[in-house]
Structure 1
């Protein structure tokens, strides 16, 4: 397995000679404010904090209470403890149905909002219509809340299996109901996030992992308004006209 690459980038700090190092792990950086929703045993959040050398930019959440969490997941207690040591905000009892109203989040806006492999629980076979509809409703309310917590240029990332029956969740359609447009879909590799352990999270086998075959990260942004598109087109046309005039001037003076 290839070793995940942690990219480093030095950013100048205004008014100071020294530079601030920004660390990257895959799609995420220590310069972004990141909300991680429903993080199982909090191992994904810990992977990011470890790579960044700090959790100060992270808000990591679970649907379970802390008591229920540590009963379900053997590594949750140590993961939560380490996250807090690294300065992360860790929240429990956070329901996607109303997370935009949560006391610790309603005044915040995030650069990235991440929900890895959302699942509404085991109430039947994954191919059954009522099960698919319950998963879709979970994702729908997530998008509804996430759209209210996102920075203007922020992104919502949902990692999800592809193929049948998972394609029937219609994630792109659900996102579009809240003006979120998919701009990229990339393969999800567990090895990119050292220490991450995806968990079932429900039922007797809640602490067991599940296969991530054909997993992808779907990336969404808020749809641009027509006025913004027109402004961008105007700037592009003006820039092209300026370049054309410059070339014409060069040809005359040669």
Structure 2
């Protein structure tokens, strides 16, 4: 039996679902570090064609993932993912969404209606994630902790769908070799954004 491998909060024994991947560099980092991708499903909102247009390393990362056994699924909406034909019969030990975001609206991130749009995406994701967790599974959201992002009230949104905060730990991108976050939209979609102070919020289903 092959020895368990780990990277930070993730183990090769976990069934892992990654949601909202940009260029799939986070998924590639995890799968490479864990030595295999057979227990991992990585998804993007973008189509494969759009990924190729937006991110210069996306196709290489996807090919790498598929070569080591990871299931890659495109055009997955986090707010309806529990009903996706390729996902609806699966349960996961870890469901991970790094830096969820509703998009850019040519106004300040502190504008109330923009905050509400972001919160709607997060709550939709959490509501679906609850339906896809194993009994002791965890939902992980990586999120900026500074203003105005702290106004999203991530923990409150989780509580509203039956999830309780298990832990909050600082997030540092250097813990994940090869991971590059992406802006995701506009002419600078392939560029990274400053992470600043960010945390991984870990949630479990409340008893």
TM-score by length of 2: 0.98
Is 2:153 the partner of 1:163?
no
Residue pairs, 1:1-254, within 5 angstroms: 19-123=1-105, 124-224=107-207
Q: State the Cα distance separating 1:163 from its structure 2 match.
A: 1.6
Task: Name which one, 1 or 2, has greater alpha-carbon Rg.
Answer: 1
Unaligned runs of 5+ in 1: 1-18, 225-254
User: How many Å separate the matches in 1 of 2:111 and 2:187?
Assistant: 21
CA-to-aligned-CA distance 1:58-102 (integer Å, 9 cap, x gap) = 100000000001100110000000000000000000001210011
Q: State the Cα distance separating 1:169 from its structure 2 match.
A: 0.1
Count how many residue pairs are aligned between Structure 1 and Structure 2.
206
Q: State the Cα distance separating 1:125 from its structure 2 match.
A: 1.2
TM-score by length of 1: 0.80
Q: State the Cα distance separating 1:20 from its structure 2 match.
A: 2.6
Unaligned runs of 5+ in 2: none
User: How many Å separate the matches in 2 of 1:31 and 1:118?
Assistant: 25
Name the Cα RMSD after superposition. 0.7
CA-to-aligned-CA distance 1:100-150 (integer Å, 9 cap, x gap) = 011111000000000000010000211111111110000000000000000
**Bigger relative contact order, structure 1 or 2, given CA contacts below 8 A and separation 6+?**
2
Structure showing the higher helix proportion among its residues:
1
